[in-house]
Amino acid sequence: MLGSTAGCSGILGGGSSGSETLGVLTTLDLDVGKATVRGAELGAQVANDEGILDSDLSVESSNTEGTASSAVDAHNTLVSRQGADATIGTFAEQTAAGIMDEIAETETVHLNVGAAAPALAGQVAEDYERYKPWFRIAPINAAFFVADLLNFAEQFAVGQQGWENAVIFREDAAWTGQVAPALKDAVGGLGMSIEDDIVFSLSENNFTTYMNQIDDTDVDFIFGLVAEAGKGPLLSYEESGVEKPMVGDLVASQSPQYLADINTENSNVISRTFTTWGSQLSDAAQEFVDMYESEYDSRPTKPTWAAFGSYVATQMYARARSEGGDSLDDTVTAMEEETFELNQTYSVYGPDEEAPDGNSYPHDLKYGPDFFQPTWSQWRDGEQVTVYPDKFANAEFELQ
């Protein structure tokens, strides 16, 4: 069996009657979207093979096109027209926020795989009864991005590499607007400094001026926060000759096809990959990677965090539905108690549970060394390797 569960006694017994359909809302033209769909497909396949539910679990998908209005249309298509019992997605922050009221009004469980904004969990905290169908399975809440970035900076950047100063390079998006100020406020306590905060529009397509500005700044490395902007900013960095490493949330570099996209075998990007095929893997995680690679031969040819996340989300949902009652409250309670192991530990905070930062993030993925701790990876010699944290690392960083 791929992965394991705990926390719900007898969750593999019983089962709900009738068919079950999962609807995936995502940007189907991007690697992250394709990976999300594929993870859900494999999760449903395993759930069916193991007979977790009394009937087959099927997967349908609809394209959000990265906009809130299209996301609402996609949600309506899947839930109202195609009868989806639950949904998975979305990637862009505006699409995730855009469907929150749809989730509440249709009382349909939604398994967030993609968006990281803390405000999503904040809505659950403010009005639990209305928004309780929402759960975040991947990635971690952006509120934890800073804690994880600071841990990485202290242990790896300062502790292992001796780097002392950086410039922030980020897209103009809600999540970076939360991460960057907190990062600037906190790095001083680590003996580091942030020399500049460079922000570019999501509509920007010429990054030459930005790369020249970075190259002219006397810093050891770059904190990069690039997700919705795609691969354009990273391609410009790779082509610019800037020798300063870029580390951070750099989604395009997580793709198995990244080296082909930038036409090289090596990179100085160290990306937070969250969980990845290119690290030390448990037997269950390796089995999942092998299954993914045998099933799909088009990009993305290896499972990224989005594929891991949607696979786990599908497994957690199937097990929650199998526990007993058919009501929304039954499923929500079972999801709150569910734990799934796949190289990382996936479980969510309960409505009255406090997170490590002292705040409440009900139904958010738990963060920390005993739960989900992101991986940090580099591309070199044509392969992705993981350089941090030590428990997942299979290589050391090398400046290319």
DSSP 222-235: EEEEESTTTTHHHH
Q: Return the residue matching tokens 């705990």.
A: 6
DSSP 141-202: -HHHHHHHHHHHIIIIIITTT---EEEEEEESSHHHHHHHHHHHHHGGGGT-EEEEEEEE-T
C-beta atoms surrounding 106 within 10 Å: 17
What is the per-residue pLDDT for 326?
82
Ranges 14-18, 59-63, 81-85, 236-240: which has the least confidence: 14-18
DSSP 267-294: --EEEE-SS-SSS---HHHHHHHHHHHH
Nearest to 110 by CA among 306, 317, 275, 315: 317
Provide the pLDDT confidence category of residue 18 given band limits of 50, 70 and 90: low
What is the per-residue pLDDT for 388?
97
Taking only the tens place, the pLDDT of each residue in 89-115 is: 998 889 999 999 999 999 999 999 999
What is the per-residue pLDDT for 174?
84
What is the per-residue pLDDT for 8?
33
What is the per-residue pLDDT for 208?
97
Q: How many helices (H) and strands (E) does the chain have?
A: 14, 15
Mean pLDDT taken over the chain: 92
Ranges 15-19, 23-27, 187-191, 379-383: which has the least confidence: 15-19
Rounded CA-CA distance 400/378 in Å is 10
